[in-house]
Structure 1
């Protein structure tokens, strides 16, 4: 006599979806880190591009200039760099201007001769300034200042 037994019923195979909560957390963590890295890289790229534009603009503004015209061009470039972040600095001149520049860079960036050229050069036609040193120190000031941390100079 045979018993009326049915065939063995196997359970359905284990599905890969939905994953366990740990996998969801890992996916969210990877997505968040990837997004953070992409935003950081984009901002760094923008900062570098703005700094390159600023340095190219300095070169363009000072090419072929000497004396008080050179000092005025470097002062104008510095104030253009500062305009979006420190609009009150546009009215500074002389020793107040130098003190402000040193404060923004954390210390004296300009050598005494170049500092005097920046402070008094635009107003004295007989001033003699070394163009390459003045431009080099202005570039160094930009890199040492807090402007790159704010996104770099903006040329609107």
Structure 2
């Protein structure tokens, strides 16, 4: 039985030539993005900007510590023990005073550090690192004695320098 709609192809013609090509859908556009992608992009940029701002703020606030560490390296080259002790004591006092003036600018009240001397200064240095003091009693006694005397016993410079580096890294005026 013949169907009326059947098309007769000429003899010798390939029936596959009569097929039409596959029609592909149009390409997906890359823009405009969905609102969720825009929110994610804005959030990512905001977080990166906040991270950079916090990092710069931290670097600005701790610049005095880096400067003190550099100055500690120059003090290390001083040959006389009394001059070494005097310069190291002055550096520690300047760092403590700077930290106090910065915290005073933020409204934190603390005892004046510039007037501390002797036992009070030793107590401040010992207590200003919280639960883990940076200095030992022996090294603090030797530092203070050497800073204020013409003749002093030999100092353990390596220990004093290491403890001073640790104190500069960890000190906080609000511990006292």
Shared fold by TM > 0.5? yes
Question: Aligned-pair distance for 1:74?
Answer: 0.8
State whether residues 61 and 77 of structure 1, in contact with CA within 8 Å, keep that contact through their aligned partners in structure 2. no
Question: Aligned-pair distance for 1:15?
Answer: 9.9
Identify unmatched segments of 5+ residues in structure 2: 1-28, 102-111
Give the one of 138, 145, 149 matched to 2:171.
Answer: 145
Match in the other structure for 1:34? 48
| TM-score, normalising length: structure 2 | 0.62
Question: Aligned-pair distance for 1:134?
Answer: 1.3
State whether residues 134 and 167 of structure 2, in contact with CA within 8 Å, keep that contact through their aligned partners in structure 1. yes
Give the one of 98, 102, 119 matched to 2:126.
Answer: 102
Give the one of 63, 68, 92 matched to 2:116.
Answer: 92
Superposed CA RMSD in Å reads: 2.9
Q: Distance in 1 between matches of 2:90 and 2:41?
A: 50
Q: Which has the larger radius of gyration?
A: 2
Q: Distance in 1 between matches of 2:30 and 2:51?
A: 33
Give the one of 90, 97, 105 matched to 1:76.
Answer: 90
| TM-score, normalising length: structure 1 | 0.68
State whether residues 128 and 172 of structure 2, in contact with CA within 8 Å, keep that contact through their aligned partners in structure 1. yes
